[in-house]
Amino acid sequence: MEIVVSGIRSTGQLHLGNYFGAVKNFVRMQHEHPCYFFIANYHALTTHPEPASLRASVRQVLVEYLACGIDPEKAVVYLQSDLPEIPELYMLLNMHAYVGELEKVPTFKDKVRKQPNNVNAGLLTYPVLMTADVIIHKASRVPVGKDQEQHLEMARNFVNRFNHFYGVDYFPEPYPYNFGQELVKVPGLDGSGKMGKSEGNAIYLSDDPAVIRKKIMRAVTDTGPTEPNSPVSEPVNNLFTLLSLVAAPERVDFYKAAYADCSIRYGDLKKELAEEVLSFVAPIQERIREISADDAYIRKVLTEGAEKARLSSSKTLREVREIMGF
């Protein structure tokens, strides 16, 4: 049986990209594999959150995880910072990670461009911490979105380097995983790229209906098709992709056909998309409200999750230290 690990940074709330890229697959996998799902509160530190806001967003992300159907009776749900073995493994792995290769990671280069005043060492070694998160449980499957493909390729490099250097076959290679084969990239509402927290183009699971409607009605489109069967522009294609996540395939076909014969009305497409997103999030929001009101339950999930996760992480770290000569 393959071990599954995945996490979400605790920088606020979950958006549709997190759900369809990652959480949806977590929920399905918990029935078939030993699963570890964590809230990445160390990873959140690269952007220097206020302590109170870090605490609040950890709680919110946990509540939303549970509201989406992650079941702490089936899967191990925990907070990254509750496992001291993760930072220790991260430190050990850092000795085998080279500055040159880390500087070449596209997400790092992107951050250097976007936040030149905060290029901290944590950002540089982010892929090493992510590797530690995954291999601390010797996981081989990682349900994530397409944006994480390269990080997992690096994780495989680190794993192979470790196994090779110490002459062991200890860590399995971790692969990104999606039930529907292709890794998912959920687009944002601003016409290009992925939906993301830092991109400011996201629909959050806990957004008010009025906010969701407003965001979708303002989504970027184009001036409309001018002749039959013209190619679909990226912003419009993004709306089709979003609709395909929440509506029946026939509805997407309907709008694609309307685009092809130039009868499409973007206002109608957006209205339908907004209503479908609202029906999709309504039951999740209901559960968010219920779970959020239950402090004792939230505490219990985290305490028990940390206990269960440490059984696995402490075993791995003991073995790694021995392999390395401690």
Binding site for ligand ADP (CB under 6 A): 8-9, 17-18, 21-22, 144-148, 184-186, 194-198
Q: Residue 245 Cβ, how far from ligand ADP at the closest point, in Å?
A: 10
Q: Which burial class, exposed, middle or buried, applies to 299 when counting CB atoms under 10 A from its CB (0-12, 13-18, 19+)?
A: exposed
149/290 with CB nearer ligand ADP: 149
- Nearer Cβ to ligand ADP (47/163): 47
Give whichever of 4 and 92 is closer to ligand ADP, judged by the CB atom: 4
Distance CA 138, CA 5 (A): 9
Integer CA distances (angstroms), 29 to 1, 4, 100, 178, in order: 12, 8, 36, 10
Which one from 24, 138, 194, 270 is the annotated catalytic residue? Answer: 194
Least distance from C-beta 142 to ligand ADP, angstroms? 8
CB of 12 to ligand ADP, least distance (A): 9
Distance CA 202, CA 187 (A): 9
The active-site residue, picked from 24, 111, 215, 270, is: 111
CB of 147 to ligand ADP, least distance (A): 5
Catalytic site includes residue 114 = no
Burial class (CB in 10 A: 0-12, 13-18, 19+), 232: middle
Which of 185, 197, 256, 308 is labelled catalytic? Answer: 197
Q: State the DSSP H helix or E strand holding residue 142, giving kind and residue range, or none if neither.
A: strand 141-143
**109 flagged as catalytic:** no
Is 194 one of the catalytic residues? yes
Q: Would you give the distance in Å from CA 209 to the centre of its chain?
A: 23
Spatial distance between the Cα atoms of 169 and 147, rounded to a whole number of angstroms:
28
User: Hey, which residues are catalytic here?
Assistant: 111, 194, 197
